[in-house]
Chain A
Amino acid sequence: MGGRDTALVLLDENGIRCDGRKVDEPRRIMIKAGGLKNADGSAYIEFGDNKILVGVFGPRDVHPKHMSNTDTGILRVRYHMEPFSVTERKNPAPSRREIEISKVIKEALEPAVMLDKFPRTAVDVFIEVLQADGGTRCAALSAASVALADAGIPMRDMVAACAAGKAADTIILDVNNEEDQAGQADMPIGYMPSLEKITLLQLDGVLTPAEYKKCVETGIHGCKIVYELQKKALTEKYFGNGEK
């Protein structure tokens, strides 16, 4: 952890981070709704150097049949990293980490989607990470929620996600790969902005109670920035630029 790479300065004396950002500044974010013709809903996100494509199918028949639930529809999520998404070739078979992130994203989306209207069906979310640079689960979650809305799945609210963390003893917004490797803490947060509810909260590292509180607040601030971009992406696709 800390100090492994001595040449890397995470935060300089002017409060500028290793990639030139301020402490409370997220990376450049671009979200596009739609784009895949054959999927029922889709989204593409660029979150700094992360590039992620999400396709959603459903509600549709459940296969295998025994997975179906007579009371409600089920949500299935697959998070997958392309072999070329990282510097060293990644084995395309699902790793322990990918299975875990799939589960975490699924559970972060479940409070938002209202699948009780579609018993005996499944909604499948396929997340493909084309290029990874730290914070893929947040970017993937944000894109997945746009894709679900695009597919017309009823949702209580959008889920926006952004990470906060601690590096060089300072709470920072949107942790990148270097800060994740060399920093002191990383906290991905999924948030429903209208309902003001947290759907995902993980923490890797050690924080004091005061730092923890500040970290959550910083993360939520980031989620709200992401939410505005999600809104913009959907508005652009469905209503053109003629905002009424």
Chain B
Amino acid sequence: MENKRKYVIPGDVITTGPYRPEQNVILDGNKIISTAIGISEIYDDSIKVIPLTGKYIPKIDDLVIGKVISHTSLSWELDINSCYVGFLPAQDVFGRDFSAHADELSSKLKSGDLVAARIANFDRTRDPLVTIADRDLGKIDSGHLVKISPSKVPRLIGKRGTMIQAIEMATGAAITIGQNGWVVVSCETPEGLLKAKKAIQMVDEKAHVANLTDQVKEMLESKGES
């Protein structure tokens, strides 16, 4: 294939030579070794492995879907399907003039609420700081939550968004994808909703298959006729 894709498992030597190791690969001498189960891709000067399994690791500027676990008088804690909890400070919602005495956090977000949030800051020393102060972010009022493996999110989006566009076009659904593997689907018609959910689950199951976009399109169209 174009850029020499290969199935790899941890410990597999992908190639040798002067390449720059990117995601999920390590350099041992001049050997480039995969550290995950996935598909290796060799570019002109770099190598990366797209993982097929694993938990979500927060990255700055990622859009995630979070679920409110609890709150203190100053902040909320969000379950973002990761090994760390998302930390949402109250100033973010109430603004600068937030006062812990006057404002009650549960009036804005309660435990169990879903929010679309962006990772504002994250490093090794602290839990990820998330924000909802932006356009398209904030509490999610309606829609269905579909959980897929976070490692398959890039596949669901597709090259330049082709996959997700195909699903949205065919079903008329609005889909919000969190990088953490949580996806919110909302649609006017119940048929479109079911179809979109099915398509998303299909991508999750068959992520390693080549030309999946065509297969998904086929599935969406065939259902439309019946």
Residues of A that sit less than 8 Å from B by CB: 40-41, 58-61, 70, 112, 114, 117-121, 149-158, 192-195, 231, 234-235, 238-240, 243-244
- Is there an interface contact between A194 and B12, defined as CB atoms closer than 8 Å? yes
Please give me the 5 A-B residue pairs with the lowest Cβ-Cβ distance, nearest first: A152-B54, A157-B11, A152-B53, A155-B10, A59-B83
Given contacts A118-B83, A238-B52, 7 further A-B contacts (CB under 8 A): A155-B10, A155-B11, A157-B10, A157-B33, A193-B11, A238-B37, A240-B208
A119–B128 Cα distance when bound, in Å, is: 13
Known: A61-B83, A118-B83, A154-B35. A244 touches B54 (CB 8 A): no
Chain B CB count within 10 A is highest, among A59, A153, A154, for A154
- Is there an interface contact between A150 and B53, defined as CB atoms closer than 8 Å? yes
- Chain A residues with CB under 8 Å of B24's CB are 154
- A71's nearest neighbour on chain B, judged by CB, is B124
- Is there an interface contact between B9 and A117, defined as CB atoms closer than 8 Å? no
How many residue-residue contacts, CB under 8 A, span A and B?
Answer: 85
- Is there an interface contact between B151 and A152, defined as CB atoms closer than 8 Å? yes
Contact of B33 among A194, A234, A235 (CB under 8 A): A194
Q: How near does chain A come to B13, taking the closest CB pair, in angstroms?
A: 6
- Chain A residues with CB under 8 Å of B12's CB are 194
Contact of B26 among A41, A156, A239 (CB under 8 A): A156
A138–B65 Cα distance when bound, in Å, is: 42
Residues of B that sit less than 8 Å from A by CB: 5-7, 9-13, 24, 26, 28, 33, 35-37, 51-55, 57, 83-84, 124-125, 151, 208
User: What are 23 of the A-B contact pairs (CB < 8 Å)?
Assistant: A58-B83, A112-B10, A118-B83, A120-B84, A121-B83, A121-B84, A151-B53, A152-B37, A152-B54, A153-B54, A154-B35, A155-B11, A156-B26, A158-B10, A194-B11, A194-B33, A195-B28, A195-B33, A231-B9, A238-B7, A238-B9, A239-B7, A243-B7
- Is there an interface contact between B11 and A195, defined as CB atoms closer than 8 Å? yes
